[in-house]
């Protein structure tokens, strides 16, 4: 069965004839593999999925990247508590360390977790979380074991949302290769194709953090791969207008935390913006119709640098994202009542 890799690329001139992305709306069982901070794009992508009644979140696995896995676990647990979803398990995951390949964090425009020492556990973060610690704890299992167990319990039903570096997913592929044909699909947020990278001149952060894992995961013969690269995120930002819509309902669980986080910045500079990378990947999964144009291209990742390169698989390449449709979906899912 032909592996379908779907890449999301914002390129207005790429297709002269519109060719909409024709995929069913994302639904069913998902595992979120991410590097969440406190209400960063990963966290809000998670909230969007939890606000989608057609999606069942089986669990969250944390990976090093924006945050260390211990930090991510603490933030994910607290987010679930705020959303009233403590039924969703959190698994503290693995990480690569770019310093092992000679990276000097001081030379980077963004260094993610490298800006802080790695904490001992999810209860001892420095600095302490602004939103506090959750009462619950991470599961005592590895992410590869958790992913393999869930996929085997629900063969052909689980979509993996790979919103951070691919360390956990690559380990699951290598330690449990039998699960690959049982996975329904994988949605990657990663890569930079026709735009500059955001950590080096040609590499996007997720694939750069653990380039070998990115290649392993991309090259695995999953039935379906959706890859949402940095190209797709150009021009889609969290601005004051979007912020005001998200926090308008004071009863929404994230209204006050988001107001406290972003309100002062928007008061000081109404023109300031915040990237929304991972929420775009989730939006494409939930509502593929927000993508207007499509084409084909091969894709893989350079195992040394994380640069997006050509591969052996033919990639289906959607184009422009409808910004208004994205913003409407973003607001509706972040302000939704708890999905049943």
Residue 100 clears pLDDT 50, i.e. is over it? yes
Q: What pLDDT digit, counting tens, does each position of 223-239 carry?
A: 888 888 888 888 899 99
Residue 206 clears pLDDT 90, i.e. is over it? yes
Cα–Cα distance for residue pair 288/48, rounded to 1 Å: 15
For position 315, what pLDDT does the model report?
A: 53
DSSP string, 8-69: ----TTS-SS------PPP-EEEEEEE---SSSHHHHHHHHHHT-TTEEEEEEEE-SSSS-H
CATH class label, 4-236+276-334: alpha beta
Q: What pLDDT digit, counting tens, does each position of 301-339 carry?
A: 999 999 888 665 555 555 678 999 999 999 999 999 754
Report the chain's terminal Cα–Cα distance, integer Å.
Answer: 34
Residue 107 DSSP SS3 = helix
Q: Which residues contact 41 (CB under 8 A, 6 or more apart)?
A: 275, 276, 277, 278, 279
Residue in this structure with the two tokens 């809000």, named with its chain if needed: 44
For position 12, what pLDDT does the model report?
A: 33
Q: Between 45 and 314, whose confidence is greater?
A: 45
Residue 199 clears pLDDT 70, i.e. is over it? yes
Share of the chain above pLDDT 70, in %: 88
For position 291, what pLDDT does the model report?
A: 84
Strand ranges in the chain using DSSP code E only, listed in sequence order:
4-7, 28-34, 55-62, 90-91, 158-162, 185-189, 224-228, 237-238, 274-275, 294-301, 308-318
Q: Between 19 and 68, whose confidence is greater?
A: 68
pTM of the model: 0.93
Cα–Cα distance for residue pair 192/270, rounded to 1 Å: 29
Average pLDDT, the chain: 90
Q: Between 100 and 7, whose confidence is greater?
A: 100
Per-domain residue ranges of the chain: 4-236+276-334
Cα–Cα distance for residue pair 191/208, rounded to 1 Å: 8
Q: How confident is the model at residue 10 (pLDDT cuts 50, 70, 90)?
A: very low
**Mean pLDDT within 271-277:** 96
Q: What pLDDT digit, counting tens, does each position of 115-150 carry?
A: 999 999 999 999 999 999 999 999 999 999 999 999
Q: Could you give the angle at the alpha carbon of 225 between the alpha carbons of 219 and 229, nearest 5°?
A: 90
For position 333, what pLDDT does the model report?
A: 97
**Mean pLDDT within 251-280:** 96
């Amino acid at each position: 069965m032909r592996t379908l890799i779907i890449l999301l690329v914002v390129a207005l001139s790429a297709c002269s004839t519109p060719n909409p992305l024709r995929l069913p709306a994302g639904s069913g069982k998902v595992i979120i593999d991410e590097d969440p901070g406190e209400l960063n794009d990963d966290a809000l992508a998670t909230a969007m999925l939890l606000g989608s009644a057609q999606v069942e979140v089986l669990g969250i696995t944390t990976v090093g990247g924006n945050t260390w896995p211990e930090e991510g676990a603490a933030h994910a647990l607290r987010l679930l508590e705020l959303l009233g979803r403590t039924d969703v398990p959190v698994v503290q995951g693995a990480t690569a360390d770019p310093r092992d390949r000679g990276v000097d964090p001081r030379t980077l425009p963004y260094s993610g977790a490298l800006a802080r020492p790695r904490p001992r556990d999810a209860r001892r973060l420095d600095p302490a979380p602004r939103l506090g610690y959750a009462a619950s704890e991470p599961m005592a299992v590895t992410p590869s074991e958790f992913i393999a167990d869930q996929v085997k319990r629900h063969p052909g039903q689980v979509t993996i949302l790979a919103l951070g570096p691919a360390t956990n997913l690559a380990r699951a592929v290598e330690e449990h290769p039998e699960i690959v044909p049982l996975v329904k699909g994988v949605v990657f947020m990663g890569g930079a194709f026709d735009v500059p990278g955001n950590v080096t001149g040609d590499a996007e952060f997720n694939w750069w953090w653990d380039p070998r894992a990115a290649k392993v995961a991309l090259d695995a013969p999953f039935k379906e791969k959706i890859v949402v690269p940095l190209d797709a995120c150009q021009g889609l930002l969290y601005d004051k207008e979007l912020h005001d819509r998200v926090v308008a309902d004071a009863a929404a669980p994230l209204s006050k935390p988001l107001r406290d986080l972003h309100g002062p910045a928007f008061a000081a500079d109404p023109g300031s913006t915040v990237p929304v990378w991972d929420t775009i990947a989730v939006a494409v999964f939930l509502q593929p119709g927000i993508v207007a144009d499509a084409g084909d291209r091969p894709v893989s990742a350079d195992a040394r640098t994380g640069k997006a390169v050509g591969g052996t698989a033919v990639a289906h390449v959607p184009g422009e994202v409808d910004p208004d449709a994205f913003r409407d979906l973003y607001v509706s899912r972040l302000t939704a009542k708890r999905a049943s």
